[in-house]
Amino acid sequence: MPAKSENLIAWGDCDSAGIVYYPKYFHFMDIAFQNLMRKAGFGHRRLLEEFGVRVPIVDAGAKFISPASFEDRLTVDAAIVHWGTKSFRVQYRGARDGVAVFEGYEARVWATVAPDGSITTSAIPQPFKDALAAAGSAQT
């Protein structure tokens, strides 16, 4: 079962037509990913301190199905749907009152940060995969 994130759409999330401005959906996806990580017991600080890594996005996209407006409650489901050796794919589905609003995805990599600031991808440790799977994502 995917991890859920609830968002009350603010006036500032909307464009002049009163509907959510499309880049905001990427913000809502990021909130859902952060919630998934917290549910798994991780956060970006812990990843950097414990593993010396970041998990940057290398690809992202979205399909917009129906509009959402000011004061709508947007529920975003987040799930890891694919694990590679050094990367993983997160799938998102957003809805208001059970009506599909958007679908999106991100591809992220396990990126080791060296003391000199250089970044290289490396293998994702199994404990991280297991924790996210237990938090509601696809199996590892």
Task: Compute φ and ψ for 18, nearest 5 degrees.
Answer: 85, 10
Q: How much is the pTM?
A: 0.91
pLDDT of residue 140: 45
**Assigned superfamily of 3-134:** Hotdog Thioesterase (3.10.129.10)
Give, for all 140 residues of the chain, the pLDDT tens digit. Answer: 678 889 999 999 999 999 999 999 999 999 999 999 999 999 999 998 988 899 999 999 999 999 999 999 999 999 999 999 999 999 999 999 999 999 999 999 999 988 888 889 999 999 999 999 888 765 44
15, 59, 97, 130: which is the annotated catalytic residue?
Answer: 15
Q: What is the DSSP letter of 36?
A: H
pLDDT of residue 1: 62
List the strands of the sheet with 57-64, edge to edge.
Answer: 3-8, 73-83, 87-96, 99-109, 57-64
Domain boundaries, the chain: 3-134
Q: Is 59 a catalytic residue?
A: no
